Amino acid sequence: MRTLIKKLCNSSMIYYIHVVMDLLLVFLSTLASSYILSKFIGINSDISSAFVYAWLVCATVYFLFKLYGVFQVGRNSYADLVFSTVLSLFLSNMGLFILTQFLKIKNMSIQFMLVSFSLQCLTLFVWKLFVAKLFSRVFQKKEVMFIGGKNNAKLYADKLLAKDRQRFILKYVDGFVDNDTFQKIQHVDMVFLGPDVEEFLKRPIIAKAVDLKKTVYLVPELTDITVLNSNIGNFGDIPAIRIDHFELPLEKWFFKRIFDIVVSLAILILSSPFLLAGLVATKLFDGGDPIFRQERITKNGKAFKLFKIRTMVTDAEKHTGPVLAKANDSRITPLGAFLRAVRIDEIPQIINVLKGDMSIVGPRPERPFFVDCFIRENPDYAMRHAVKTGITGLAQVSGKYTTSAEDKLRYDLYYIRNYSFLMDVEIILKTIKILFIRDSSMGVSTTKALNHGDVLLDSAKKENEVYL
């Protein structure tokens, strides 16, 4: 239960819940003020006017709360939240009261404004106290590692804690990078990279931290600010780019899973006649098992059995081991070539989606042997397994089957970092078009295979095999 609460609190969903609760309490407190004035104090208060006033207060309070950081759950102390809340409510109510008097709107008395302000403050004080207690119980202080140049490391580290001692514990301060630096990353929650860390050192440090699911704060160079399209926030009083680990927030994962189930069921129903025809035709063609099962890798490096309609001869890799398909591959049967061309062989993967092994959209699943090869060549390749693999993906609609593994990785990581529901819909729509493009279903040509990446060539030499 504690883990689930942590995941919820770390997701953006908790932010929206907090916003809704804040505004709902302000709205209800304003309406309740009208009732209290009429029922207990004997001052007539028009409920319809109070209703309009409540909406206006919520609108102005929203912008003030956002400006003063009242919605930033767990970031500010309770005292700071109380002060910012009172200031926001005072400015909102006072501003609206002056506006109603200037416009000579009736039924907006000073008594109504004062009671509304008081009740709003009271309800929000209790709510903020509950939130503060919840976060103090669920979360402990985060341990931070600061990595900076030997001249400025201590200076930046002191500035780091100047404002946020209630949230962070500075565990390590490294003025230079060595092997111990990478070991220390395992024992902290966050890594802070100063501006004077050499560029060639930043990449492996960030890769290590992201792989270990640690949050990274990076102080940008002045030139970076002019060219980066990143949101620059602050860590203490230091401007920094936040680099989160590659993982979908809880609410995005939930809606993506619901979307996968709904779309998969629809596709399975619509494509069932073609699936049945493909299975029967494959069985009649050579008498072999029409279902092809192959081990692939999905989220968190987990292996699963991927289902497809068999398009090659049985035991196609019995004497060769893992081999990439190539154009005009002799192992592909005539029927298999047709099934590949019209994409019917891919339909059984819908079962993998319904089982939860895959998603409709995501990085394409690779075989364990090739995954190991790619990771040895480029450790960043492992980051694509932060999400479930998919039947189609950004790399598939933007590149071709013959696109290099490194370029596909760029597409995959961009997809994970910028995932949205609309992006999934766009990729699916583009996939429909690609279904009718022949070269996107072709295997790797011999020349392309040899240029597919040094990783395959190196592996081929080590295993005395040729990968085509």
| Residue 468 lies inside a defined structural domain of this protein | no
191 and 260, same domain (yes or no): no
Q: Which residues, 6+ apart, have CB-to-CB distance to 31 below 8 Å?
A: 47, 50, 51, 54
Domain-embedded: residue 207: yes
Q: Name residue 262's beta-bridge partners.
A: none
Using DSSP, state whether 341 is helix, strand or coil.
helix
Question: Residue 12 has what pLDDT?
Answer: 62
User: Can you tell me the distance from the alpha carbon of 36 to that of 24, in angstroms, rounded to the nearest whole number?
Assistant: 18
Look at 11 and 119; give whichever has higher pLDDT.
119
Same domain, 15 and 129: yes
User: Average pLDDT in the 175-181 region?
Assistant: 78
- Phi-psi category of residue 286: left, alpha or beta, with phi > 0 → left and psi -120 to 50 → alpha: alpha
pLDDT category of residue 281 using cuts at 50, 70 and 90: very high
Q: How confident is the model at residue 57 (pLDDT cuts 50, 70, 90)?
A: very high
- Do 27 and 158 lie in one domain? The reply is no
Read off the tokens for 126: 């209790």
382, pLDDT greater than 60? yes
pTM (2 d.p.): 0.64
Contacts 24+ apart (CB under 8 A), 101-109: 105/49, 106/46, 106/49, 107/44, 107/45, 107/46, 107/49, 108/49, 108/53, 109/43, 109/45
**Domain membership of residue 207 as a residue range:** 142-243
Confidence of residue 163 (pLDDT cuts 50, 70, 90): low
Q: Which amino acid is at 102?
A: F
The string of pLDDT tens digits covering residues 325-370 is: 655 667 888 888 888 888 889 999 999 999 999 999 999 999 998 8
- Residues 124, 220 share a domain: no
Q: Which of 226, 243, 260 is the last residue of a domain?
A: 243
Residue 298: left (phi > 0), alpha (psi -120 to 50), or beta? Answer: beta
Cα angle for residues 387, 390, 394 (degrees, 5° grid): 90
3-state secondary structure of 366: coil
Q: What is the pLDDT of residue 316?
A: 64
> Hey, which residues does 233 pair with through a beta bridge?
240
Instruction: Indicate if the pLDDT at residue 318 is higher than 80.
Output: no
CA distance linking residue 341 with residue 335, whole number of Å: 10
The pLDDT value recorded for residue 25 is 94
Task: Tell me, yes or no, whether 453 and 405 share the same domain.
Answer: yes
Q: What is the CATH number of the domain that holds 226?
A: 3.40.50.1700
Range 407-430 average pLDDT: 89
Q: Does 262 lie in the same domain as 182?
A: no
Q: What is the mean pLDDT of residues 418-433?
A: 89
Where is the domain boundary, 138, 169, 202? 138
Which tokens sit at 383?
């980051």
Is residue 109 located within the same domain as residue 192?
no
pLDDT at 361: 95
Do 163 and 274 sit in the same domain of this protein?
Answer: no
pLDDT band at 460 (very low <50, low <70, confident <90, very high): very low
Please indicate, yes or no, whether residues 325 and 284 belong to a single structural domain of this protein: yes
Q: Are 145 and 174 in contact (CB under 8 A)?
A: yes
Angle at 60 (CA atoms; ends 55, 61), nearest 5 degrees: 95
If 0-12 CB within 10 Å is exposed, 13-18 middle and 19+ buried, where does residue 187 land?
Answer: exposed
> Mean pLDDT score of the chain, rounded to an integer?
79
- If asked whether residues 459 and 348 sit together in one domain, one would say yes
Residue 186 lies in a domain: yes
Look up residue 40 and give its DSSP letter.
Answer: I
pLDDT at 417: 83
User: In the predicted model, is pLDDT for residue 242 greater than 90?
Assistant: no
Please check the confidence at residue 171 and state whether its pLDDT lies above 60.
yes
Whether 347 and 428 map to the same domain: the answer is: yes
Write the CA distances from 373 to 99, 121, 363, 366, 445, integer angstroms. Answer: 69, 60, 17, 11, 20
Does residue 257 lie in a domain region?
yes
Which segments of 115-266 are extended strands (E)? 142-147, 168-174, 190-193, 215-218, 232-235, 238-243
Q: What is the helix (H) or strand (E) element at residue 304, kind and residue range?
A: strand 303-309
Whether residue 359 lies inside any domain: the answer is yes
Name which of 157, 162, 189, 193 is nearest 173 in CA terms.
157
Q: At residue 453, does pLDDT exceed 50?
A: no
pLDDT in tens, 195-233: 777 777 887 888 788 778 888 888 776 666 655 555 566
Give the number of other CB atoms < 10 A from CB of residue 445: 16
Q: Which is nearest to 201 in space by CA: 242, 246, 145, 149?
A: 149
The letter for the amino acid at 435 is L
Half-sphere exposure of 102 (CA within 13 A, CB side): 6
Query: Is residue 133 domain-shared with residue 79, that is, in the same domain?
Result: yes
Q: What is the dihedral of CA 366, 369, 374, 375, to 10 degrees?
A: 110
In a domain, 154, yes or no: yes
CA distance 95 to 113: 11
Does residue 339 fall inside a structural domain? yes
Highest-confidence segment of 98-102, 117-121, 447-451: 117-121
Least confident of 232-236, 269-273, 339-343, 402-406: 232-236
Question: At which of 138, 163, 184 does a domain end?
Answer: 138
**What pLDDT score was predicted for residue 45?**
66
- Alpha-carbon span 396 to 407, nearest angstrom: 11
In whole angstroms, give the CA distance from residue 50 to residue 33.
8
Q: Does 162 have pLDDT greater than 80?
A: no
Q: What CA–CA distance (Å, rounded) separates 421 from 262?
A: 14
Structural domains in the chain (count)? 3
Strands (DSSP E) along 84-231, which ranges? 142-147, 168-174, 190-193, 215-218
